[in-house]
Structure 1
Amino acid sequence: MTCLPCAAFAAALLMVIAATADFALLAATQRPSWEETWATIKAEGKAEGSVAFRTGASETREYRQALPEFEKAVGLKIQLISGSPTDLATKVVAEQRAGKPSADLWFSGASSVLNVFVPAGAAKDLKPLLVHPEVTNTKAWYGGELPWASDWTLGFGASADRGIITYNPNLVDPNEFDSYWDILKAKWKGKIVMRDPRLDGVESPRTFLYVKLGRKFFIRLLDEMKPVIAPDARTAAEWVALGRYALCIIGCNRAGEQAEAQGLPVKAVFPKILKEGFPVDMGGSGLTALSGSPHPAAAKYFINWFLSREGQIFYQKATGNFSLRTDIPKNTVKPSESIYPELAQHHWYGWKYEGPRAESQAWLREIMKARGF
């Protein structure tokens, strides 16, 4: 016997399934492809015509030199203003509070973002702006994950700091060092110059030593070794070259490279890998979206272009820095900027230690002030 209600239900169910399938097919045919979506983002960005970013990164000179090629590649006019990260960040916040924001993006590390922008509400969530599949594909990034330095800052480049110890080879035998604790040997008392570890620009080596060796290292360094703080990195490197000091620690490696290239007796990269390894950090290679962006469409387009394969190949070529994308060649990376992927077991990733970064700075300000620095 046929069940009429059952037959009616089955027929109705088939109609629903058919209608659902038709709707899904229609939605699929109407949904724009990724290429169409990207074309729209690109067109809207180019219609605004320009993007403005502020940077306190050390690569500013390289960015400026490559600016015409940069603008040609992305199809936007780029307004670049550089300076002290703290001063620039303060100005960005002041402009926003006055209702006259002039910057779209921040190119630098996460310190100013966390210390200045976030408390003032001056940084916005970057995640919704990342839409290009080449950008969101975690397999394309070093370590298999997007390199977030904080909830607001995405890192795109990094370098290994093999130069925490810069030295005069006529005065120092690297074979005497197995650990960073060896800096505290009595023979180096009065023979150490360093950058001020309280500065924003030396957060990577400072935080590395703080996490790896602890507060005791800095207390002994200041109290026993009597280091001298140089006014800047170039002066520190010159003093090492002249033999006035045997070692420069914390933030001397770039100036040391320049001195070494001039034939002066300075070695900027320590030839041995010490027991604690070495820091790999993004330095100024971080990207943050700013609140009140005057060119929101151009900023969204630029962010995704810059973080794509094309943009990061351009970044590496322009700066010589190491992009954290794994799907691009590294033939334009300067040796001093490599993160030495083959030595990954020795890496210490600085961008994962934002808490100790701020903590170490605040603590050093306190104890160094008490000691008359």
Structure 2
Amino acid sequence: MQTYHMDSRQGIRPSNAGAVGETMHRSDWETLEGYLPAEGRRLWNQSFYFNAYDPKNGIGCVIRAGFMEGSRSANSWMVFFMDGKPLFARYNANLSCPANRLAGGVSVGGMTLESLEPLKVARIRFQTAEFAFDLTWRAMHPLMDAIGFGQDDKDNFAAAHAHAHLEGSCFVTGTVTLRGGDRHTFEGTGGRDIAAGIRDWGSMEHYRVAWPIFTDETAAIGIHGVAGGRHSYMSMWHDGTDWTPIVETEDLVTFDTDEFTVRETHWRLRDAHGREVSYSGIPLFRCFLPADGYTLVEHIAKFTRSDGVEGYGLVECGMRLPWHRDMALGLG
């Protein structure tokens, strides 16, 4: 496989690229599942994120594997829940960085992650005496680069978070086995993303995400970031046929009394064709994931669109510490 190099000014370009601005074509996106060298950049990051929820058995999960070659470290998290209560959680913050990535398979934190079909099918396996799972994410919609496609301007918060960020909705199937051998079939939906580039968590005071996948196989990805007191957005809508960029976003989040977890969230999006979609989400499960001086709060939520169509998906918040709620307004 050809080695690719990432440049924050040019996006992704092959190592033999010529003119400035010669960016990676979609046909080359699959290289993001393979190894991309840090080339001396300490904050260089490659990450693979997955979530899923099966409303029939109430089981859901959030999973991430991050590879920071510049600091010679890796991290991983996996959190499973059932009926709003934890089933199993493992967080590893300072692992050694393996040479492999999703393409070809990689083991990190006890999990084995592998791409079965580039950008379309990925499998994750894990087994201990207490808990095991074997889940496969199959593309419902093609992955799309949210930074190149969905951001509202070219200098927003995303530049310090990644240089490429592919996101998409999936059908998720497999099995989850509990302590004592109680095995559950999993048939749900979920999201996955692939990111590569500089990852500076502390560059943002706050960000929040609402990513519902509806029962009619439409989906929305709304991201609101606050950096330096400035608000910016990165949003996309899939109408069941194709992704379309969002030109106007409004969101309202109500935090719980702890000022970290979300009680409910409301979003309104208007796409490039003038179509509007609005939806609300109420979390079913919440968990905290530490990142040194930053905290991520993951929620799996039930969403309802304004026309009554329901769905499930992710509500995610990032908070720079020390945190107070005014930072979500850009007043920190």
- Aligning the two structures, in what range does the TM-score lie when normalised by the shorter sequence? under 0.3
What TM-score does the superposition give when structure 1 sets the normalisation length? 0.22
Larger radius of gyration: 1
Higher-RCO chain (CA-CA 8 Å, sequence separation at least 6): 1
**When the two structures are superposed, what TM-score results if normalisation uses the length of structure 2?**
0.24
